[in-house]
Amino acid sequence: MTAQTPAALYPDHLDTLAARATAALERGGFDHLVVPSGTLHYQVFDDRDYPYAVNPQFKAWVPLVRNPGSWLVFTPGAKPRLVYLQPRDYWHVVPEAPSGYWVDHFDVKVVRNPDDALQHLPRNATRCAILGEPQSALGRYGAFAPNNPQPVLDYLDYHRAYKTPYELAMMREATRRAVRGHRAAERAFRAGASEFGIHLAYCQAVGQDANELPYGNIVALNGHGAVLHYTELDRVPPKPVRSFLLDAGASHGGYAADITRTHAADRGGEFQAFIDAVERAELALCDEVRAGVDYRRIHLDAHQRLAGILQEFGIIRCGAEEAVATGLSSSFFPHGIGHGLGLQVHDVAGFAASDAGGTIDKPEGHPYLRLTRELAPGMVVTIEPGLYFADMLLEELQAGDNARRVDWDRVEAFRPYGGVRIEDNVVCTDDGPVNLTREEFAATA
């Protein structure tokens, strides 16, 4: 066993969670932390359930993502308890008994009925910080119901930004899966597959279906790349095929990878040169992920760099500074430079001023940025600059004062390609940034 295996890293991870939970309970004035894994939800007027999504507060402690009806109990000074639902059910596959490197760290109680979990929870629910959804309530009249106390959530969510070595190991494995998928997807694209076919090739390579992935795959050919969250998956490829944008991740042990790549059908054409320019900017922005850096600064720097690319390719007729100052750059780069990443694709507390709450505002005129905190060692963020030729934004641009600053013939030349986005997952350290995405692409070149 090496020092970097999940089994070796997990005990320290659990110690970190215990210390954070103890401090959070003191903040809220509670004796116990109780976390349900979540329950199945059913569609209205139907007996079909929605895809189950585990409570992130639960999977932070145990790498279980397909176990509704289970519970985690932490009491400072005591061994954490896992109440594990293993129902008697001949309609569905019953979860296997708990096993793995993490099991011995818990007092495991197996129950056969969801309501039986109540006997293994603290007796007095009023002394518990219960973090979960309302549907997880147990007991007569829902007496044992999630209360989600804000001081507890503020503390836990704020500190969740700082990943433990165990969490980074899990994210590296998620990245390995996602990179396999991206390589398979590009091969399918080059072979002439449709968006749907590319999606299937991706899932096959990753070994996860749509419900296991951390978010719905964005598989966009040609102009569909201008739709930021395009998920329609056409069954027939367009003619001709010009470009391919893939924003797709993978999961491992409850943790996510989130990667985007853009490809040109003609590797020697102008759109490939445009992709290359965005990639150079993206790599420079990744290098800014350093301790003490205000993430908002990276976002504003992205606008400056991307506006320079627009000027370089003759798409705008003004300088980069003027394009940013007038808001012109936002017509082509309408989203934020990225977000926190971990147990959730858009990890929590992106705007938190401290572990006691409060908000750090977004830069004026940039409403879609998802992270405004100062970077510190252990944080993992995405860096995802993009330039798009989106019909709705171009229509608004053409009707406004900035229309005169645009070469519309050049816009029309690029519009059929949709757009470009390049996204990597980057760890902030005490030294230089660690680019999880690039490391894995290089390892599998």
Does pLDDT of 2 surpass 60?
A: no
3-state secondary structure of 144: strand
In the chain, DSSP finds a helix count (H) and a strand count (E) of: 11, 15
**CATH code given to domain 165-443:** 3.90.230.10
Give start-end residues of each CATH 3.40.350.10 domain in the chain.
6-159
Contacts of 172-175 with C-beta under 8 Å, sequence gap 24+, read 172/436, 172/440, 173/252, 173/253, 174/214, 174/249, 174/250, 174/251, 174/252, 174/253, 174/255, 174/256, 174/257, 175/250, 175/257, 175/259, 175/425, 175/436, 175/437, 175/439, 175/440
User: Sorting pLDDT into bands at 50, 70 and 90, what band is 3?
Assistant: low
Instruction: Reply yes or no on domain 6-159 having CATH 3.40.350.10.
Output: yes
Give start-end residues of each CATH 3.90.230.10 domain in the chain.
165-443
Percentage of residues of the chain with pLDDT beyond 70:
99
77-125 confidence digits (pLDDT tens): 999 999 999 998 888 889 999 999 999 999 999 999 999 999 999 999 9
Q: Which of 423, 54, 15, 37 is nearest to 255 (CA)?
A: 54
Give bridge partners of residue 74 from the DSSP assignment.
33
pTM: 0.97
3-state secondary structure of 107: strand
DSSP state of 71: E
270-316 confidence digits (pLDDT tens): 999 999 999 999 999 999 999 999 999 999 999 999 999 999 999 99
Residue 147 has which token pair?
């209360």
> What's the chain's average pLDDT?
97
